[in-house]
Chains A and B, each alone.
Chain A
Amino acid sequence: MGENSQTLDKERRDFIKKVLKGTIGGSLLLVIPAGLRSGIEVPVQIPGIRDQEYDLNKKRFAFVVDITSCIGCGSCCVADKREYKVPDYHYRTWVERYLKDFDDKIYVDSPNGGLDGYQEPRKDLDKEIRDTFFVPKLCNMCNDPPCVQVCPVGATFRSPDGFVLVDEKHCVGCAYCIQACPYSVRFLNPVTHSADKCTWCYHRVRKGLLPACVNVCPTGARKFGDVNDKESEVSKILSGPGVFTVLRKAMGTSPSLHYMGARREVI
């Protein structure tokens, strides 16, 4: 009897060891830092990520868009298009032009998503304009994302580090998420036949690079960083004084994208 229980114990121990190995192996899979193509010297734009163990649970990123700095050049849109080869007439990020007349009416346009820049003033209005500004739009990276709630197959999800991503291989292209997104940032990619959206350049962030649009912005209207890193620009901005808004706050999506200097008409 004693001998029997010993062998049983041993088997149990082996079993636990195997399970533990599997779990550790699985978790390592997620923390091994992703490398860059060989031989390129790239500055570290976000400290504490490259060549370090990446703990999915310890990072929290935020994006700040400073509307008072945006000049509507469309660099961000061009960069985004080039980074992902986004098919024509689909936009992961775009820039809107707001015009406000003296009756407080708002006119918004975004020719080709701002990809070609704003070469001409809007000609179809004969109103006197009181206020005008550009509003860059991108994924709000909600902490409580409606798109994830509606996905029937679990192809879109919020990762532990706060990025709402799409599993291209698993997506069936039903487009529920596209309808659910209150910010209209999702689209059905005609090439991959999968839902597609702005990822805040997750692959760049994991390599210590800034998102492509932040990297090219000439006036610093787009800012990105780790909120948990007290030295980062974004955490300093967000913890300091200043007026910040999120889009459609009443919907309870709790976005990680914050706007600076946004008029209340911006939605």
Chain B
Amino acid sequence: MHIQSVRRYLLQSNHNSHVKRIIVGLLVLAVFGFASKLIFAPATFGDLGHYRAKAILEEANLEPRLMTNESCLTCHQHEKRKHLKGTHKTVSCEFCHGAYFDHILDDKKIGTLDVKKGEEIRVLCLRCHNKEIQARPTDKIKTVALPQHLEEKRVRTTHTCDQCHYVHAPLEYVNLAKKMMRIKDEPEKEPCP
């Protein structure tokens, strides 16, 4: 009965009935819009801008999969002694071996990481040290051409890099051997920063 009286009031035609209808229509729309925003907009949407503010925290709370050289060298003491003294001190452990968290999780070893051997070593070394790629700034890295380098050093052209160069400190044993054999050429310079 109450609704009926409202309805009668609205439908009743007089000089301002169209204004009433428009106002009521707008009010209904506003309520509908507000209610649907409450229902459909995700929580924290609009707190900091036109986005879900909590998404920032969710992104910040993702777990890293890669760590730093320091985290690897905490356990690998032998590599620590060699790696940090050699020309490869700026090379990341995880670049050659793989992600830290594929190896350690909650202080436990969960997997063994890759150790490159044989032909894979040559491919890996030439990623940086290939002289054929001329875009490399020469003051940043020492490059070699293969097999010329092997011929020049009078070793078999099937030799892999790690047969002379210890991968963690590439010049350490080469320079030591030269010293023992009293080979007089200049000790190789370190190009890395």
Distance in angstroms from B16 CB to nearest chain A CB is: 35
Q: How far is the CA of A40 from the CA of B106 in the complex (A)?
A: 8
Of A12-20, A203-211, A232-240, A243-251, the one touching chain B: A203-211
Number of A residues, CB within 8 Å of B: 67
Of B19-27, B89-97, B166-174, the one touching chain A: B89-97
Contact across chains for A72 and B49 when beta carbons are under 8 A apart = no
Q: How far is the CA of A203 from the CA of B55 in the complex (A)?
A: 12
Contact across chains for B128 and A218 when beta carbons are under 8 A apart = yes
Distance in angstroms from B60 CB to nearest chain A CB is: 4
Contact across chains for A26 and B44 when beta carbons are under 8 A apart = yes
Of A1-9, A41-49, A136-144, the one touching chain B: A41-49
Contact across chains for A165 and B59 when beta carbons are under 8 A apart = yes
Q: Is A97 an interface residue (CB 8 A)?
A: yes
Q: A43-B68, A82-B94, A119-B127 are in contact. Are A219 and B45 (CB under 8 A)?
A: no
Closest residue of chain B to A134 (Cβ to Cβ) is B135
Closest residue of chain A to B43 (Cβ to Cβ) is A26
Contact across chains for A74 and B92 when beta carbons are under 8 A apart = no
Distance in angstroms from A95 CB to nearest chain B CB is: 10
Contact across chains for A118 and B65 when beta carbons are under 8 A apart = no
Distance in angstroms from B87 CB to nearest chain A CB is: 10
Q: Choose among A32, A40, A199, A215 the residue with the greatest number of B CB atoms under 10 Å from its CB.
A: A40
Distance in angstroms from B64 CB to nearest chain A CB is: 5
The residue that B51 contacts in the complex, of A71, A84, A157, with Cβ under 8 A, is: A157
Q: Is A220 an interface residue (CB 8 A)?
A: yes
Q: How far is the CA of A68 from the CA of B67 in the complex (A)?
A: 27
Contact across chains for A209 and B140 when beta carbons are under 8 A apart = no
Q: A79-B92, A134-B135, A157-B51 are in contact. Are A202 and B140 (CB under 8 A)?
A: no
CB-CB < 8 A to B98: which residues of A? 82
Contact across chains for A34 and B61 when beta carbons are under 8 A apart = yes
Main secondary structure, interface of A, reads loop
CB-CB < 8 A to B90: which residues of A? 218-220
**Which B residues between 54 and 99 are near A, CB-CB below 8 angstroms?**
54-68, 70-71, 74, 88, 90-92, 94-95, 98-99
CB-CB < 8 A to B94: which residues of A? 79, 82, 216
Q: How far is the CA of A68 from the CA of B51 in the complex (A)?
A: 39
Q: A71-B140, A154-B45 are in contact. Are A203 and B52 (CB under 8 A)?
A: no
**B-contact bits for A252-266, CB 8 A (1 contact / 0 none):** 000000000000000
The residue that B74 contacts in the complex, of A41, A85, A154, with Cβ under 8 A, is: A41
Q: A43-B68, A79-B66 are in contact. Are A121 and B132 (CB under 8 A)?
A: yes
Q: How far is the CA of A43 from the CA of B63 in the complex (A)?
A: 16
Q: Choose among A99, A129, A157, A209 the residue with the greatest number of B CB atoms under 10 Å from its CB.
A: A157
Q: How far is the CA of A68 from the CA of B134 in the complex (A)?
A: 13
**Which B residues between 90 and 145 are near A, CB-CB below 8 angstroms?**
90-92, 94-95, 98-99, 101, 104-107, 123, 126-128, 130, 132-137, 140-141
Closest residue of chain B to A131 (Cβ to Cβ) is B135
CB-CB < 8 A to A121: which residues of B? 132-134
Q: Is B50 an interface residue (CB 8 A)?
A: yes
Contact across chains for A218 and B192 when beta carbons are under 8 A apart = yes
Q: A71-B137, A132-B134, A218-B90 are in contact. Are A26 and B59 (CB under 8 A)?
A: no
19 contacts between A and B (CB under 8 A): A36-B64, A37-B105, A40-B67, A43-B68, A45-B68, A56-B48, A73-B128, A79-B66, A82-B99, A83-B65, A119-B123, A133-B135, A157-B51, A169-B52, A202-B62, A203-B59, A207-B64, A216-B95, A218-B91
